[in-house]
């Protein structure tokens, strides 16, 4: 079924959500998945991505809702540029990322997925970067930065809302 105005203020599944500059962010609250569905997703990802650590099993939000809406709702990736601009994020190089920064994944020309840097650890073999990300309607995981499902692509951009010192 197609809902006209889905994710907009007139939609009953919409929650008020805006950027710092007041731009409305389209969003839609999802219904919770059945426990059986979540258990099945967890089993699949344990096999496919065994290094990913389960953080939360819910369908209510997606990756964009996790990063930009406090895990309350689903926000399509077509809202990413609106949010980055409206919340005054700035691009940052991979060598300058910090905990809390946003990583954007893509398998083509558009953003497919976002995550949030959760840990950066220097090791004798280099730097280990862990990311929190929500895999669509499946659970949320903490994982190495390049360890997302294949459909999400590779890390291509990094953004921060940190303010430089004056």
Q: Is residue 122 part of a domain?
A: yes
Rounded Cα distance, 155 and 48, in Å? 19
Three-class secondary structure assignment of 45-101? HHHHCCCCEEEECCCCCCHHHHHHCCCCCECCHHHHHHHHHHCCCEECCHHHCCCCC
Q: Is the backbone of residue 153 left (phi > 0), alpha (psi -120 to 50) or beta?
A: left
Q: What is the pLDDT of residues 28-71, one digit of tens each?
A: 998 999 999 999 999 999 999 999 999 999 999 999 999 999 99
Q: What is the pTM of this model?
A: 0.91
Q: Among residues of the chain, what percentage have pLDDT more than 90?
A: 84
Give Cβ neighbours of residue 57 (< 8 Å, ≥ 6 apart): 38, 41, 42, 139, 140
Give the residue numbers spanning the domain of 64: 35-160
Q: Is residue 26 part of a domain?
A: no
Q: Is residue 10 part of a domain?
A: no
**DSSP codes, 143-156:** EETT-S-GGG-EEE
Q: Is residue 165 part of a domain?
A: no
The 3-state DSSP class for residue 116 equals: strand
Q: What is the pLDDT of residues 75-127, one digit of tens each?
A: 999 999 999 999 999 999 999 999 999 999 999 999 999 999 999 999 898 99
Q: Is residue 27 part of a domain?
A: no
Q: Is residue 29 part of a domain?
A: no
Closest CA to 65 of 108, 32, 113: 113
Q: Is residue 12 part of a domain?
A: no
Q: Is residue 13 part of a domain?
A: no
Q: What is the CATH number of the domain that holds 47?
A: 3.90.1720
Cβ neighbours around 149 below 10 Å, total: 18
Domain count, the chain: 1
Rounded Cα distance, 15 and 70, in Å? 12
Kindly state the DSSP code that residue 34 receives in the 8-state scheme: P
Choice between 166 and 1, residue whose per-residue pLDDT is larger = 166
């Amino acid at each position: 079924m197609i809902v006209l105005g889905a994710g907009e203020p007139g939609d009953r599944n919409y929650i008020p959500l805006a950027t710092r500059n007041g731009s409305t962010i389209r969003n839609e609250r999802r219904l919770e998945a059945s426990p059986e569905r979540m258990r099945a997703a967890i089993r699949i990802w344990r096999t496919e991505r065994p290094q990913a650590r389960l953080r939360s099993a819910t369908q209510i939000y997606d990756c964009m809702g996790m990063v930009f809406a406090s895990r309350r709702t689903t926000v399509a990736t077509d809202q990413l540029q609106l949010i980055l601009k409206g919340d005054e994020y700035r691009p940052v190089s991979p060598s300058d990322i910090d905990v809390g920064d946003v990583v954007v994944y893509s398998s083509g020309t558009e953003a497919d997925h976002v995550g949030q840097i959760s840990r950066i650890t220097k090791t004798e073999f280099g730097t280990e970067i862990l990311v929190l990300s929500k895999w669509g309607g499946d659970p949320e995981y903490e994982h190495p930065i390049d360890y997302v499902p294949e459909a999400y692509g590779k890390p291509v951009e990094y953004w921060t809302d940190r303010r430089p010192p004056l």
